[in-house]
Structure 1
Amino acid sequence: MALQIEQVSGLKVPDSFICVITNAVIEGGDPVGRAKAVTLNFKDPDYSPETGGFHPVEVRLEKQATSWQLIYITDFSYQGRHTPELIKEIDVCFSIKQVYHFLAGWLNAREGKELLALFISNFVEYYNIGCYQVTVTTE
């Protein structure tokens, strides 16, 4: 089953990312036929504040009339010294076409596109080398 994912002008993602999402849904085995939303969680089981690893990433899609639309991509990381907790490090919000970084806040359009391109490139590579366990949840 191929997901028809509608791109948002101004924050387009490469086909390699669309392929990762489509493959993850297919491999997840959770049918999306009548679902209104799909959330994908990509986790490195060894990621921890002590040893590091690959940041968890969450991607949400929502069903439109004839296609799926990306709603957000969020990259989480452990932050804090004494009691580290997972926080949003990078948050891509497609509805408002903006990218957030926890150290800089909402980025301007150029910076946001540059960070998104770098993040997506790294994420696709990490997925392709098998760093993530993927959970697919439908609503």
Structure 2
Amino acid sequence: MLIPFDRDGITLPVCDELLCLVDDVAQQAPQALANSTAITFNFRDPDYDPQRGGFHPVEIRLVQGLNGWLFDYVTDFSYQGLGQDAELCKELDFNFLDREYFMLGWGALRHQHACEIFSLWQRNFLHYQKMGCFAVTAQSE
């Protein structure tokens, strides 16, 4: 693995498959890791829109910690509203470092519920990625 993850600092059940996916994307853009303190991965369905639907955009941000890279957040976005008034909003937001978790329509989630929802979300996301549903980019800070 190119990215040395701080596994002790991961507060939700991130599976090895997701770690490998993020690592694979980083290997395709090794300059993104060079001298950076954070890297943001964007997974976008180019056909997703408020009328036809599609696969939700996902953003995953890692930050450099003392003992390796940590997940900062994982956010799943969806269009909310109708027609031209639809806006892209956070539907699921897993803030690892602050241990704050949010689900649209439910509000703040307890850690136990966040773990369950994250596990379900993660399985679906990885399946969609395998199907080739996303265009993927990485940006460093």
Task: Compute the TM-score of the two structures, normalised by the length of structure 1.
Answer: 0.93
Separation in structure 2 between the aligned mates of residue 9 and residue 137 of structure 1, nearest angstrom: 21
Match of 1:121 in 2: 123
Q: Per-residue displacement from partner, 1:81-129 (whole Å, max 9, x unpaired)?
A: 2410100000000012232101101111221111000001111111111
Separation in structure 2 between the aligned mates of residue 62 and residue 9 of structure 1, nearest angstrom: 12
Match of 1:25 in 2: 26
RMSD over aligned Cα atoms? 1.5
Match of 1:3 in 2: 3
Task: Compute the TM-score of the two structures, normalised by the length of structure 2.
Answer: 0.91
1:31 shift after superposition: 3.7
Q: Give 1:92's aligned amino acid.
A: F
SS in 2 for 1:61: strand
Q: How does 1:77-92 map to 2 (within 5 A)?
A: 77-82=78-83, 83-92=85-94
Q: Give 2:3's aligned amino acid.
A: L
1:70 shift after superposition: 0.4
Match of 2:135 in 1: 133
Structure 1: tracts of 5 or more residues without a match? none
Separation in structure 2 between the aligned mates of residue 56 and residue 28 of structure 1, nearest angstrom: 20
Q: Which shows bigger deviation, 12-21 or 68-77? A: 12-21
Q: Give 1:38's aligned amino acid.
A: I
Structure 2: tracts of 5 or more residues without a match? none
SS in 2 for 1:30: helix
Change (3 A) 1:28 1:125: farther
Q: Per-residue displacement from partner, 1:4-34 (whole Å, max 9, x unpaired)?
A: 1123354131111101111111124534121
SS in 1 for 2:90: strand
Q: Which shows bigger deviation, 40-49 or 8-17? A: 8-17
Q: What is the count of residue pairs matched by the alignment?
A: 139
CA contact (8 A) 2:40 2:140 kept: yes
